[in-house]
Amino acid sequence: MKEEQNIKVAVDAVVFAYKEERLYVLLIQRKYGQFKNEWALPGGFVKTNESLDKAVVRELKEETGVKVNYLEQLFTFGEVKRDPRQRVVSIAYYALVNPSKFKLNAQTDAKDAQWFPIEEVPKLAFDHKLILKKAKERLQTKVLYQPIGFNLLKPTFVFSDLEKLYQTLLEEKIDRRNFRKKILSFDILEETGQQKKIGSGRPAMIYKFNKPKYRALEKRGFYFEIKYA
């Protein structure tokens, strides 16, 4: 007996941003359908002659105006009734961006696009709350063995900016002395020769991320163990 298969393939994107010592996620307000006016992750159906990666990049650009540099496949969500319209399997991605580089521009299926603090996310359509939870867990795990958090910072930064970023992502106070010692031992930060005055103390050195040195280190393999305060 021949099995009938009627399954749509979709992509969804969890786009994280960091500003003012808070983690944000990008959401769109749906323009059509059963979940009209509700908030959701950017995404949509994959075209017949389109790769998954190209589909998620296209959907992000169309619905929010955002073009991402760091994009990673997260998980496949395929519960039978996750979409009330029909059987839809979604391949989710997560991305890290600097929000100051973009002006949000909602189009196509999106009525609006906004950044929401991670702790103030509204009710989401479909199973997007679960997708967001998975993405946050992946981010918290991955910053421990790959410095992907640099994608959330400006090109140049003082060391305290990096400390605050990690504490925000991990939702824990870290041992600052140990953190500084570990990061500098990897030799992936490069001094710019410039300094920044912060408060009444001595000026702080301004750094930038040395990607070639990181890639060489990544090939050898390393684990960045963080001690908490």
Please provide the DSSP assignment of 117-139 as one string. Answer: EGGG---BSTTHHHHHHHHHHHH
Q: Does residue 69 fall inside a structural domain?
A: yes
Question: What count of other Cβ atoms lies within 10 Å of the Cβ of residue 56?
Answer: 26
97 and 111, same domain (yes or no): yes
Query: What's the pLDDT score for residue 221?
Result: 67
* 3-class DSSP state of 213: helix
Q: List per-residue pLDDT tens for the chain, 229 residues long.
A: 667 788 999 999 999 999 999 999 999 999 998 899 999 999 999 999 999 999 999 999 999 999 887 799 999 999 999 999 899 999 999 999 988 888 899 988 899 999 999 999 999 999 999 999 999 999 999 888 777 788 888 899 999 999 999 999 999 999 999 999 989 988 899 999 999 888 777 889 999 999 888 878 777 766 777 878 7
The pLDDT of residue 186:
87
Residues 6+ apart with CB under 8 A from 97: 15, 16, 17, 66, 68, 69, 70, 151, 152
Domain total of the chain: 2
pLDDT of residue 207: 96
**C-alpha separations of 112 from 27, 32, 48, 193 in Å:** 8, 12, 27, 42
pTM metric for this prediction: 0.91
Domain end: 111, 142, 173, which one? 142
| H-assigned helices in the chain | 52-64, 128-142, 159-170, 176-185, 211-220
Residues 60 and 165 in one domain: no
Q: Say how far apart CA 4 and CA 117 lie, in whole Å.
A: 43
Other Cβ atoms closer than 10 A to 133: 12
Provide the pairing of β-strand 88-97 with 8-19.
Answer: parallel
81 and 67: one domain? yes
Give the C-alpha separation, 194 to 206, whole Å. 6
In a domain, 227, yes or no: no
Range of the domain at 123: 8-142
Is 62 a domain residue? yes
End of a domain among 110, 142, 174?
Answer: 142
Indicate whether 56 belongs to any domain.
Answer: yes
Q: Does residue 16 sit within a domain?
A: yes
Q: Which residue has the tokens 């992502």?
A: 169
Place of tokens 């059509």: 32
Tell me how far apart the terminal alpha carbons of the chain are, to the nearest angstrom. 62
Same domain, 22 and 116: yes
Domain of 77, CATH number, reads 3.90.79.10
Q: Are 159 and 117 found together in one domain?
A: no
* Alpha carbon distance 83, 21 (integer Å): 35
User: Which of 142, 166, 186 corresponds to the end of one domain?
Assistant: 142
